[in-house]
């Protein structure tokens, strides 16, 4: 899941706009529910990383300056999710167990617009929320692991379809 700068209160701010908070909380509840629906990846989940990217502009020492700044916005997201308006009890437990915050300055430009030019900078400035699989899984047999994830996703989809048909 990727969050744009438009959700925050100004350039470089780590404060979410009031209208963005409800949308973010709802999106995170859906995100966690979907991850829980896939037992194979959920059981091997090491963390859910909230990662901020910056654009390469800065007056002095751009990488260092943007690294510090890029750590503030995901921390703001996490503090919101930990607060009263963020997540429900079940989601809070998973957030406490899984959430990590990181900032990468401008070292990982977006695939969609990697050039260092003004037109691309809005895409560079983003917060990503992504699952991180356990180290053991990352070192394991990927083909077998991916097949297990695919099969589990198919089983979950079949179960949801069957449940939907029963309620009709």
- Tell me the per-residue pLDDT of 65-81, one tens digit each, with 9 for 90 and over: 888 878 888 888 888 88
Q: How confident is the model over 51-66, as pLDDT tens digits?
A: 988 888 877 888 888 8
- The residue among 167 and 76 whose pLDDT is bigger is 76
Alpha helices in the chain (DSSP H): 18-36, 39-43, 62-82, 89-98, 118-124, 135-139, 142-167
Q: CA-CA distances (angstroms) from residue 130 to 11, 32, 45, 137?
A: 23, 11, 11, 16
Q: How confident is the model over 104-153, as pLDDT tens digits?
A: 888 888 889 888 888 888 888 888 888 888 765 556 555 556 667 778 88
Q: Is the Cα torsion angle 20, 26, 27, 29 positive or negative in sign?
A: positive
**Residues recorded for the chain:** 168
Sequence-separated (6 or more) residues with CB below 8 Å from residue 108 = 53
Both tokens of 135, joined, read 């180290």
Segment 146-167 shows an average pLDDT of 81
C-alpha 113/C-alpha 117 separation (Å) is 9
- Give the domains, in start order, of the chain with CATH numbers: 2-136 (3.30.1330.60)
C-alpha 126/C-alpha 49 separation (Å) is 13
**pLDDT at residue 46 is higher than 80:** yes
**pLDDT at residue 13 is higher than 80:** no
CB neighbour class for 55 (10 Å; exposed up to 12, middle 13-18, buried from 19): buried
């Amino acid at each position: 899941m990727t969050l744009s700068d438009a959700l925050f209160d100004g350039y470089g701010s780590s404060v979410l706009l009031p209208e963005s908070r409800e949308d973010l909380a709802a999106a995170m509840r859906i995100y966690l529910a979907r991850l829980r629906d896939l037992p194979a990846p959920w059981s091997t989940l090491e963390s859910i990383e909230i990662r901020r990217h910056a654009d390469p502009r800065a007056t002095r020492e751009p990488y260092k300056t943007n690294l510090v700044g890029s750590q503030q916005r995901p921390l703001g997201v996490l503090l919101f999710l930990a607060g009263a308006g963020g997540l429900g009890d079940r989601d809070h437990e998973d957030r406490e167990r899984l959430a990590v915050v990181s900032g990468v300055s401008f070292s990982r430009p977006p695939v969609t617009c990697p050039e260092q030019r003004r037109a691309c900078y809005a895409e560079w400035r983003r917060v990503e929320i992504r699952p991180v699989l356990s180290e053991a899984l990352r070192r394991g047999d990927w083909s077998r692991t991916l097949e297990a994830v695919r099969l589990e996703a198919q089983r979950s989809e079949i179960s949801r379809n069957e449940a939907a048909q029963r309620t009709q």
